[in-house]
Amino acid sequence: MVIEQLVGGIFLRGTRKLEYKMEKENKETFERLRAMEKEKEKYEIEIKNERFIIFPGVFSPKYFKSTEFQVGNIKVNKGEEVLEIGCGAGIFSIFAAKNASRVVATDINPSAVKNASENVSNYGLNHKVKVLMGDVYGPLSKDDKFDLIFWNIPFCYTESENIRLVEKLLFDPKYASIKRFFVEANKHLKKDGRLIFEFSSDLGKIDKIKKFIKESNLKHKLIKSKKVARFSDIISLELYEVRLK
């Protein structure tokens, strides 16, 4: 049976009802997303005294605080090989390249791949940072392994699979991609390597994430948490480290 709901004088059916519910339950998040979408031209932002170009439709530190949190709290050791999944404008990858011997940055958004590539070129790091298009580990060769794999995962949960590309910056339908992140980690993580992911226990479902970690025979620990202000509320951001058992 198709469930219908009357909203603003119109009936919502099936996936549209789920989309409405997703937006209603994440009102603050969608307000920031809408503000970000109003950007129609490239613009500059500053993170830790460094300047970066942001393309329209690409995850932006101007509207979301997580980028500054990650670059200030994730240590990349000298000579490490680093993978960043969902690289957006490539900001973390560029900071990582200061110590890393090699960085691979991936994203499913063509605009993000172009954006990250431009920022990498602007910093003269094409010899060290490679930007690829694809989902999770999809763009990698089967033998490609890393000391550090990082993903600012889209931690907002939704049952709806019919969402726009820009909404996938923040929402992962049924956490399907996040599950792959943990299940396939052992294929691309060096023996003593680590996964780091960013999360918000106020916005996401951490119990589901911990279940994926356990089922993948991995162990985890919280390494950093911080309260950050948004438009009208305060949320927690966390960094978790995950390793092979």
Q: How many CA atoms lie within 13 A of 182 on its CB side?
A: 24
Measuring CA to CA, which residue among 185, 193, 119 is closest to residue 153?
A: 185
The pLDDT, as a whole number, for residue 13 is 45
Given a cut of 70, whether residue 3 has pLDDT beyond it is no
49 part of a folded domain? no
Q: Residue 231's pLDDT is what?
A: 62
Q: Considering the domain boundaries, does residue 59 fall inside one?
A: no
Mean pLDDT over 3-13 rounds to 37
CA atoms within 13 A on the CB side of 103: 28
Q: Residue 19 has what pLDDT?
A: 56
- 66 Cβ neighbours under 8 A, 6+ residues apart: 152, 198, 237
Six token digits for residue 225: 């948490």
pTM here is 0.89
Classify residue 109 as exposed, middle or buried by CB count within 10 Å of its CB (0-12, 13-18, 19+).
Answer: buried
29 assigned to some structural domain: no
Instruction: Say if residue 221's pLDDT is above 90.
Output: yes
DSSP secondary structure code for residue 40 in this structure: -
Which residues on neighbouring strands pair with residue 104, listed in sequence order? Answer: 83, 130
Question: Is the pLDDT assigned to residue 183 strictly greater than 70?
Answer: yes
CATH number of the domain residue 111 falls in: 3.40.50.150
* 215-227 mean pLDDT: 96
Instruction: Supply the range of the domain harboring residue 139.
Output: 64-244
Count of structural domains within the chain: 1
DSSP track, 86-155: S-TTSHHHHHHTTT-SEEEEEES-HHHHHHHHHHHHHTT-TTTEEEEESSTTTTS-TT--EEEEEE----
pLDDT band of residue 23 (cuts 50, 70, 90) is: low
Domain membership of residue 45 (yes or no) is no
Is 176 inside a domain boundary? yes
88 neighbors 107 (Cβ within 8 angstroms): yes
pLDDT category at 21 given cuts 50, 70, 90 is low
Q: Is residue 137 part of a domain?
A: yes
Whether residue 76 lies inside any domain: the answer is yes
At 121-167, the pLDDT tens digits run: 999 999 999 999 999 999 999 999 999 999 999 999 999 888 899 99
Residue 69 lies in a domain: yes
